[in-house]
C-alpha cells in the first residue's frame, strides 16, 4: 500500500516562529511512518517556502504532497493567509478554513460573534492605531480614566500571549498600548479578572462524538507571574494539571463553552479555548486557539494523554479529517 505524503508546514513570518518550529518538529517525529511519508515544508521569517531544505514555489511544493499538516502559529499561519493559499491550490489541510481562522484570530471579532451565546466575556474596549500623534494620546488617556482598572492589554490579533500585560498604573498602561499597536492594528483592553486559569480542547468526530470535549486543564503559573504569559507557556515553569481541580459544574461549563465557541465560529477539526474562573463572578471565556501547540510543553498533548490518546494517533485522526473534508 502506498504511503500518504504529508507536508508539514512550520516556521513562517510570525511572532510565534520558534514555537511553530517546535510543533512542526513534534509532528514530523510522531507521524506513523508505516502510513505516512512526511515532507518538511519550512517557511522562513520572510515567507520563503522550502521543501526538504530547498527553496521552491508554493505551487511546486503543494503539487508534491497529498495533504498538509499545518503546524504554523500566529500571524500568517492562523489568520487565514496560509489557509487561502492551500485552498487556492486545492490542497487538503488540517485545521480551520481561511474565514473562520481570520475571525478567530481577531479577538474582538470572536467576542462579537459569540456575544449571543450563554458565555461570559470580560468587558472590553478597543484602541485603534491613529497613526500616532495627539489623537492616540487622547484616546489612551480617555480609556485609562473611564475604563475599569487594572486592565489587561493585548494586541488584537496575536497568540501565545505575545504582547499581553496587566496595567496597574498609567505609565504601564500607555506602554502596553503602544507596544500592542506596534504588533497589531489595534489594542484590546479587557477588565482584569482575578482567578484560576483553565483551557479546554475539543476534537471533531472523535470517539463517536461530533464534538469531543477533552478534560479541562488547570494552569498554575509560577508565583512571580500574574498570568500564563509567553515565557510561562513555553519554558516549563508553570504547573498544568489535567484533569484540573474543578467541580463537576465548573468542568461542564468549561467544556460546553469550548464546544459552543468551536461550533459557532465554524472552526475545523480541533481547537482550544482559554478561560478564567473567578470565585465570585464565575467562568469567563478569554480566547480561542485554532492551531494549538503540539510541543513538549503544550497543553493539548497533555489533555490527549489524559484520555489515553497518543500524539501519533491524534495526528492520524486530524489527517483523516483533512483528507475526507468536502
Task: Residue 110: give its domain's CATH number.
Answer: 3.30.470.20
Q: Are 165 and 201 found together in one domain? A: no
Q: Are 48 and 175 found together in one domain? A: no
Convert the pLDDT of each residue in 117-168 to its tens digit.
999 999 999 998 766 667 899 999 999 999 999 999 998 876 555 678 999 9
Structural domain including 9 reads: 4-93
Q: Are 210 and 259 found together in one domain? A: yes
Q: Is the backbone peptide bond immediately before 8 cis, with ω within 30 degrees of 0?
A: no
> For residue 155, what is the domain's CATH number?
3.30.1490.20
> What is the block-wise mean pLDDT of the chain (326 residues), using blocks of 10 residues?
94 93 97 97 97 94 98 95 98 98 95 96 90 80 94 80 86 93 90 95 98 96 57 61 94 98 98 96 96 91 96 98 91
Q: How far is it, in rounded angstroms, from Cα 324 to Cα 92? A: 9
The structural domain count of the chain equals 3
Residue 199 near residue 219, CB atoms below 8 Å: yes
Q: Are 162 and 248 found together in one domain? A: no
Q: Are 8 and 42 found together in one domain? A: yes
Residue 206 near residue 174, CB atoms below 8 Å: no
Q: How far is it, in rounded angstroms, from Cα 253 to Cα 60? A: 46
Give the number of other CB atoms < 10 A from CB of residue 123: 12
| Residue of 95, 9, 28, 25 lying closest to 270 (CA atoms) | 95
| Model pTM score | 0.90
Q: Are 26 and 71 found together in one domain? A: yes
Q: Are 63 and 13 found together in one domain? A: yes
The upper half-sphere exposure of residue 258, i.e. CA atoms within 13 Å in the direction of its Cβ, equals 29
Q: Are 88 and 205 found together in one domain? A: no
Q: Is residue 149 part of a domain?
A: yes
As given in the structure block, the three cell numbers for residue 236 are: 516549563
Amino acid at each position: 500500500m502506498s504511503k500518504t505524503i504529508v507536508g508539514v508546514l512550520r516556521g513562517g513570518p510570525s511572532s510565534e516562529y520558534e514555537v511553530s518550529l517546535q510543533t512542526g518538529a513534534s509532528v514530523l517525529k510522531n507521524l506513523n511512518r508505516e502510513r505516512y511519508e512526511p515532507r518538511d515544508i519550512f517557511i522562513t521569517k520572510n515567507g520563503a517556502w522550502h521543501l526538504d531544505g530547498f527553496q521552491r514555489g508554493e505551487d511546486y511544493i503543494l503539487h508534491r504532497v497529498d495533504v498538509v499538516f499545518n503546524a504554523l502559529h500566529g500571524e500568517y499561519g492562523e489568520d487565514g493567509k496560509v489557509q487561502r493559499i492551500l485552498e487556492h491550490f486545492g490542497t487538503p489541510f488540517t485545521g480551520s478554513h481561511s474565514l473562520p481562522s481570520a475571525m478567530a484570530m481577531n479577538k474582538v471579532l470572536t467576542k462579537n460573534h459569540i456575544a449571543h451565546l450563554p458565555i461570559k466575556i470580560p468587558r472590553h474596549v478597543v484602541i485603534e492605531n491613529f497613526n500616532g500623534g495627539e489623537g492616540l494620546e487622547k484616546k489612551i488617556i480617555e480609556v485609562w480614566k473611564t475604563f475599569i482598572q487594572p486592565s489587561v492589554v493585548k494586541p488584537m490579533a496575536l497568540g501565545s500571549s505575545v504582547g499581553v500585560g496587566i496595567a496597574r498604573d498609567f505609565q504601564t498602561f500607555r506602554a502596553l498600548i503602544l507596544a500592542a499597536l506596534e504588533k497589531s492594528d489595534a489594542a484590546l483592553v479587557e477588565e482584569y479578572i482575578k482567578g484560576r486559569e483553565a483551557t479546554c480542547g475539543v476534537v471533531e468526530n472523535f470517539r463517536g462524538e461530533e464534538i469531543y470535549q477533552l478534560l479541562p486543564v488547570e494552569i498554575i503559573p509560577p508565583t512571580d507571574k500574574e498570568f500564563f504569559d509567553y515565557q510561562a507557556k513555553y519554558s516549563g515553569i508553570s504547573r498544568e494539571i489535567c484533569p484540573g481541580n474543578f467541580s463537576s459544574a465548573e468542568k461542564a461549563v468549561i467544556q460546553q463553552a469550548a464546544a459552543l465557541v468551536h461550533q459557532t465560529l465554524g472552526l475545523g477539526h480541533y481547537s482550544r479555548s482559554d478561560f478564567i474562573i473567578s470565585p465570585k463572578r464565575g467562568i469567563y471565556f478569554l480566547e480561542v486557539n485554532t492551531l494549538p501547540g503540539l510541543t513538549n510543553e503544550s497543553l493539548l498533548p497533555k489533555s490527549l494523554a489524559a484520555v489515553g490518546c497518543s500524539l501519533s494517533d491524534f495526528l492520524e485522526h486530524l489527517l483523516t479529517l483533512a483528507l475526507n473534508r468536502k
